[in-house]
Structure 1
Amino acid sequence: MERWVRGTVLTAALTGMILSNLFIDLGYAQRWLDLAELIFLVVAVVRFSGYSREELGLGGEFSLLKHVLFPLAFFILPLVPVLFVPHRSVSPKIFALYFLNYLLIAGLPEELLFRALLFASFEERFSGITALVGNSVIHWLIHFGVGLNMSQLMAALVLSSYRLTFRRIEPLIIAHALWDAVFIALKPSFVGSWSLVIMAPFAGAFLSILIYLAGRSQQIELSVG
């Protein structure tokens, strides 16, 4: 079986495993099943996909500018204005628990499945842009269980744009969990000029694409030369 096919099939199987929890209720034991599934998912993606950690976005070159400052500026700091707009009051302890919850049930598994494994599979078989769009649309559609909305698709495209250009997914795992925690726990209401803050992640995605295209053009020029 070709590697990209194995990666796509593994993504589908692991996604099905996670989605099956929507139809299973084991009461108190459910949390242990969820934890076991998460551990199995991590092992399956890292050990059985056929892709190296670098190809999955879990290793390789590290840059303070690309992998810390860039996601901090475009994906995390834009959340600060939430403190200044109407939002639900939640203690730091409760918010930390929300963040940990979404790190384990959304940030880690979804980024491993889609920005790591499915992205690598599509990119190997098709192209980087196809991987960006394809994995984002599929990631969006699997949210049917909680109801589909365009913000989910836009978020997936933003995260995939970063993955395409800067290759690593660790910042995306954190950003994904933080976004979920902020918008679900705090339920901020952006009004007036505050709503422009939401455009920061899109600006980051746009800049990522420009950097990617510039790099591709340079590679083509070097190969032709």
Structure 2
Amino acid sequence: MDRGKKIALSALGVEIVGSSILLLFYRDIGWVPLGILMLFLLYLVVKKLGVGKEELGLGGELDLKIHILLPIAFMLLSFVWILPLGVGLNTFGKPLKVVLLIYLVLLVRYLVFVALYEEILFRGLMQRGFELWKGPKFAVIATAIIFSLGHIGSRFSFQPTFPNFWRLYNPLLAGIVYSIYRWKFRRIEGLILAHGLSDFFDRIMTVEKADWLLGTLEGHVYMVAAYTAVMALEGYAYVKIAEKLGETAKKSKEMVA
């Protein structure tokens, strides 16, 4: 079997197994043992396939500005459209010390057991397989679609409601942008941080006009239009920044030559 096809299908298999375990045993096992199990499964598959760190996007020369700060800055940009609606922090009705502990637990959960696992699986492994098999543009779209569908198991019901639409549309656009970054810059460390922090902020953030946003047609239109615009801007910016860096590198080589 073609190596790219083997990698892509193996990653898809991990996603199917992981989602099945999540749906069937989450309440019985809990997210920590389940997260460790899924990370271990992913590790075994990566080792079996012989995919190295650099191929996963975790090795090679690291540029702090491009590979870490850029995706984090764009992650923060993706929340700009919410700010006019009034935002605050969810204290969960607990004292400050307890709230800080809750924040720490959530941060570890989203960075390690969500972002680390999903970015290595989708952008590191699956997208790399699709690139070798079908090419980079196909890899971006296919990986984003499967990433979106993977969220069906997260509080999703097959009902024609806006929340169900949003649970697929939100990760679809995020997946496209993350995959564009992976395609153009070849690294995923910054994506892991951006993904984990994004989920963390989303969990602890409160929105004053949440009822309008989620409960009215106008709110739905604003939510979709604003989020789409921001994510389209990010994807476009990643492409242009990569092109600019490529031109600069080419000129530097020509000057040296």
Q: TM-score range by the shorter chain?
A: 0.7 to 0.9
Contact 1:71 1:171 in 2 (8 A): yes
Deviates more, 1:121-130 or 1:33-42: 33-42
Unaligned runs of 5+ in 2: 92-98, 157-166, 214-218, 251-257
Report the equivalent of 1:206: 236
- Indicate if the aligned counterparts of 1:102 and 1:181 stay in contact, CA closer than 8 A: yes
Measured on the aligned residues, the alpha-carbon RMSD in Å equals 3.3
Within 2, Cα distance between the matches of 1:81 and 1:133? 25
Shift of 1:59: 0.8
Amino acid of the structure 1 residue aligned with 2:42: L
TM-score (norm 1): 0.80
Aligned partner of 2:66 in structure 1 is 66
> Does structure 1 retain, via aligned residues, the 8 Å contact 2:14–2:41?
no
SS at match of 1:54: helix
Secondary structure at the residue paired with 2:202?
A: helix
Assess, with a 3 A threshold, how the Cα gap between structure 1 residues 65 and 34 changes in structure 2: closer, same or farther. Answer: closer
- TM-score normalised by L of structure 2: 0.71
Structure 1 position 185 matched with structure 2 position 204 = yes
1:75 counterpart residue number: 75
From the superposition, tell whether residues 10 and 77 of structure 1 become closer, same or farther in structure 2 (CA, over 3 Å): same
Q: How many angstroms does 1:172 deviate by?
A: 0.8
Percent of aligned positions that are identical = 29
Deviation track 1:175-214 (CA, whole Å, cap 9, x = no partner) reads 111111111232445789xx89966554332111234466
Match for residue 103 of structure 1 among 103, 107, 111: 111
Paired position in structure 1 for 2:50: 50
Q: How far apart are residue 13 of structure 1 and its match?
A: 1.9
Give the length in aligned residue pairs.
216
User: Who is 2:40 aligned against?
Assistant: 39
Q: Give the Cα separation in 2 of the matches to 1:29 and 1:65.
A: 37
Q: Secondary structure at the match of 1:62?
A: coil
CA-CA distance at 1:58 after TM superposition: 1.0
Change (3 A) 1:205 1:32: same
